[in-house]
Chains A and B, each alone.
Chain A
């Protein structure tokens, strides 16, 4: 139920922003749409509402994850640009395994998306039961677990663990 209410508020806010400046007609239409969305999809929006309102997690997310993510995204672009422009195309692609300790859906999703948007890596598949991500790497340095973790996982996994996993916040 809490998830549905959150979904309603979120959908309504997005509607208001999309139809800025709102007037009465649009607010009524938006309310109806948000209600339908929250009834149909609401149960899968957030599983653990208490996490969303934990100020420490939100703080870490906004001021630690987001800046690092933007910085890595910019670096990724220059990396790709360099590989594309270079006449010899210095690429050495391959698919490697990355072990992860994250368990929650949100954490895994954010880890996979972050890896896709950071230099030279693209998530191909996730095996949740074993905690393995398969990653297409444009410049393979090594295939053993330590190397892949150091080169790919270590940038994001510790902070996502703090933000999205249970029991580790302080």
Chain B
């Protein structure tokens, strides 16, 4: 029974990962792509790891490692996205031409 639940978690995680990669291809600019990549891949991978935890039989060697990987992933992936997007903006990469507003560029003009 617990194996089946674990498999369901792994399946759900895989489909979210696929959607995240699809977003990476379809969305127009680096910021929108980061949105898809960060959110879907974080939850997708966490779900796969949680499924691994269940399938491997709970608190075993593998299970513990999967759980701790979830914590590190949730802490690290938004920080990475933050660093990439800030770096991209500072390097002068423009937003998609149909973007409505860019307050960050407005505020930065004064300081530069």
Chain A residues with a Cβ under 8 A of chain B: 14, 17-18, 20-21, 73-74, 76-77, 80-81, 83-85, 89, 91-97, 112-113, 116-117, 120-125, 127, 132, 134, 136, 138, 140, 143
Contacts and interface: CB of A to CB of B under 8 A. Distances in A.
Interface residues of B, number: 47
B46 to A, nearest CB: 9
Interface of B: 16, 19-20, 22-23, 26-29, 31-32, 34-36, 38-40, 42-44, 60-61, 64-65, 67-68, 74-75, 77-79, 81-82, 85-86, 89, 95-96, 98-105, 107
A85 B65 CA distance: 33
The B interface is mostly helix, strand or loop, or mixed, namely helix
Given A17-B64, A93-B100, A81 B32 contact: no
Contacts of B78: 112-113, 116-117, 123
A134 B86 CA distance: 10
A11 to B, nearest CB: 12
B95 A95 contact: yes
Given A80-B20, A81-B16, A95-B31, 9 more contacts: A20-B65, A73-B42, A84-B19, A92-B98, A93-B29, A96-B103, A123-B78, A138-B32, A140-B101
